[in-house]
Amino acid sequence: MITKGVIEPISDVFVNLVNADFTAKQRGIRVSEEKIVMDGSPETPLEYIQVQIANVESKFPSAICDSGLVTVEGRVKDGIPHLTKVGAFEVDVSMEGSLILCRQVDQPGMIGSVGSVLGEENVNVSFMSVGRIAPRKTAVMAIGVDEEPSKATLTKIGEIPAIEEFVFLKL
């Protein structure tokens, strides 16, 4: 599924679970998998999955760790996939619908500022999560939205002074 998700947007052929690895190989992409058994029992379900991608540009540079790899982590909660880490930032994001990721200065009023822009444009927020390294430093805000925001709405979010970068993702 991960390989399919990475390859599909950049491939001109239909990508499915059967041909995803082959299609990646044809494009010169090497996929490696490492399983680390935490308690010595291979029957224990995975607690989380981490994906690291090298030698690519990211639509959201905050997903790039100090190692230079785009890094995300996730897990399944109550049968629904959740994004739990973007780069160095911990979040709790349901992987359903559409998502706005913002890297920002961690300061009072940021949730309200972004929420107000979305509300003024009649974009409903379904959930919101903020992950930060330390108080009043840098944070990542993940906002689930029910409707796709217009380009003008996204521009308004980008114009909020404390927003350093953002990306809209249709899941």
CA distance 40 to 29: 31
Higher-scoring residue by pLDDT: 47, 155: 155
Average model confidence (pLDDT) for the chain?
Answer: 89
pLDDT score of 166: 94
Q: For residues 96 and 80, is the Cβ–Cβ distance under 8 A?
A: yes
pLDDT score of 28: 85
41 pLDDT above the threshold of 90: no
CA distance 68 to 83: 20
pLDDT score of 59: 83
pLDDT score of 65: 86
Q: How confident is the model at residue 43 (pLDDT cuts 50, 70, 90)?
A: low
Q: For residues 143 and 125, is the Cβ–Cβ distance under 8 A?
A: yes
- What pTM value is reported for the model? 0.78
List, for residues 89-123, the tens digit of each pLDDT value.
999 988 888 999 999 999 999 999 999 999 999 99
CA distance 97 to 94: 8
Q: Which residues, other chains included, contact 23 with Cβ-Cβ below 8 Å and sequence gap of 6+?
A: 7, 11, 13, 15
Calculate mean pLDDT across residues 49-75.
87
Higher-scoring residue by pLDDT: 123, 53: 123
Query: Could you give the domains of the chain?
Result: 1-33 (no CATH), 34-170 (3.30.70.260)
List, for residues 133-165, the tens digit of each pLDDT value.
899 999 999 999 999 999 999 999 999 999 999
Helix (H, G, I), strand (E, B) or coil at 151: helix
CA distance 87 to 73: 9
How large a percentage of the chain has pLDDT more than 90? Answer: 51
Calculate mean pLDDT across residues 62-81.
88
